[in-house]
Amino acid sequence: MKKVAIIGYAQHPILENAGALNEVELIMPVVHQLFDELGISQNNIDFTCSGSCDYLQGAAFAFVEGLSAIQTNPPIKESHVEMDAAWAMYESMLKIQMGDADTALIYGFGKSSPGRLDSIISLQMDPYYISPLWPDRVSLAAIQARVLLEKNIITPEQMITAVIEARTNSKNNKNALVTELVDKEAYLASENISSPLNEFDCPPISDGSSAMIIASEEKAYEFTDHPIFIEGIDHRIESSNIGSRDLSKPTGILASIEKLKLEKIKFDVAELHTQFSHEVPYLQSVLNLSDVPTNLSGGPLVGNVMMCAGLDAIGKTYESLKSNDFTNGLAHASSGPCLQHNMLVHLEKKS
């Protein structure tokens, strides 16, 4: 495996409603910010890969329009995933491993405000045969929360703690959308949206964009003195047939843990793509993170840009390692209902 490092990451302030700003106008500032910070341009980028969801914009091939935010003359090599941009990073990783590129620009963007996110995510994710059944993302998450609570894998108190900590940690995150603190009384007084989940257990509707640049080891040191290396990356998907899954057994994540030999690593920080409060204690337990500071950015509960939040978990882990006396970080990205598809990324700062 070639050594590959993250050399930069930028995130647009997360907005409840970006209003008149279109996707291109959301992407351009973060890409320019990245280039300016590193003192480089698109001419230094061998491969460009984006992550987005056309259903969010409501137009076929909407992702092609997103490319208007990028300098494409002289012509560039580019690709796109109809997924969270964390998977665009994975594709870029492969491109570098294959020797087709030494540097890659990754960007993700999503506006959830223009449509009904429950219906949009349902259409994107539901593998229907004849007609959509329209299960919404919150109800599906609630099923998993209920399973985990009834099996005593997590407790209601842990869910409350996850919410309170997310809000408290939002102060570390200049781009967080939700920064209002919440206490136990307010939490308990909140009505269920889909039992056992109330509004605090669910992520806010968010608009935004993010960008990242990764590079082979040699190139990384050309552009920065402080690259953060991707020591391990692995992703696994479980059945799209939710009835055939045991929602309390993360078989994909466990396989990734084994593949990446994570049990041997002492992590200093972790950022998890946990969109719902119950997923925080669940993944902390699965990933053995009880003593590891987790979601210091507040995580998706304080800002959850669709098709970006997974890349943001990687980006926030990168930022934590860069600005603290940390060595090892774990990032998690997820896709699909009930943590169906998961990616684990082990980042390491070389001393």
Partner 1 sequence: MSEEEKKDYAESPINLEYHYTAGSATTRFLNQVKEGKIVGQSCPKCSAVYVPPRGSCPRCGVATNIEVPLTDKGCIESFTIVHIPIPGNPIVPPYVCAMIRLDGANISFLHLIQGIDVEEIRIGMRIQAVWKPKDEWTHSLENIKWFTPIDEPDVDVATLRFQES
Give min distance, CB of 104 to partner 1, in A.
Answer: 16
In this complex, which beta carbon is closest to partner 1, that of residue 59 or of residue 186? 59
CB of 124 to partner 1, least distance (A): 11
Q: Which is nearer to partner 1, 71 or 324 (CB)?
A: 71
Reading the block at residue 91, the tokens are 């594709």
Residue in the structure block whose two tokens are 């009834």: 150
* Environment class of 108 (CB within 10 Å of its CB; exposed 0-12, middle 13-18, buried 19+): buried
Q: Three-state SS for 179? A: coil
Q: Shortest distance, CB of residue 271 to partner 1, whole angstroms? A: 29
If the CB atoms of residues 106 and 302 are measured against partner 1, the closer one turns out to be: 106
Nearer residue to partner 1 within complex by CB, 100 or 114: 114
Give the DSSP letter string of 236-253.
EE--S-GGGS-TT--HHH
Query: Nearest distance from residue 137's CB to partner 1, in Å?
Result: 15
Q: Which is nearer to partner 1, 135 or 196 (CB)?
A: 135
Residue 41, both tokens: 């341009």
Smallest distance, partner 1 to C-beta of residue 86, A = 23
Site residues (CB under 8 A) for partner 1? 18-22, 24-25, 28, 31-32, 42, 55, 57-58, 65, 67-73, 113-116, 119-120, 123, 130-132
Nearest to 344 by CA among 273, 292, 268, 278: 273
Nearest C-alpha neighbor of 136 from the set 43, 66, 202? 202
Q: How far apart are CA 275 and CA 310, in angstroms?
A: 10
**What is the rounded distance in angstroms from the CA atom of residue 96 to the CA atom of residue 107?**
16
Residue number, 27 or 177, with CB nearest to partner 1 = 27
Q: Closest separation between CB of residue 334 and partner 1, Å?
A: 23
Residues in the chain: 351
- 189 Cβ neighbours under 8 A, 6+ residues apart: none
CB nearer to partner 1: give 76 or 255: 76
Minimum gap (Å) between residue 123 Cβ and partner 1:
7
256-to-167, 263, 264, 344 alpha-carbon distances in Å:
29, 11, 13, 7
What whole-number distance in Å separates Cα of residue 80 and Cα of residue 305?
A: 17
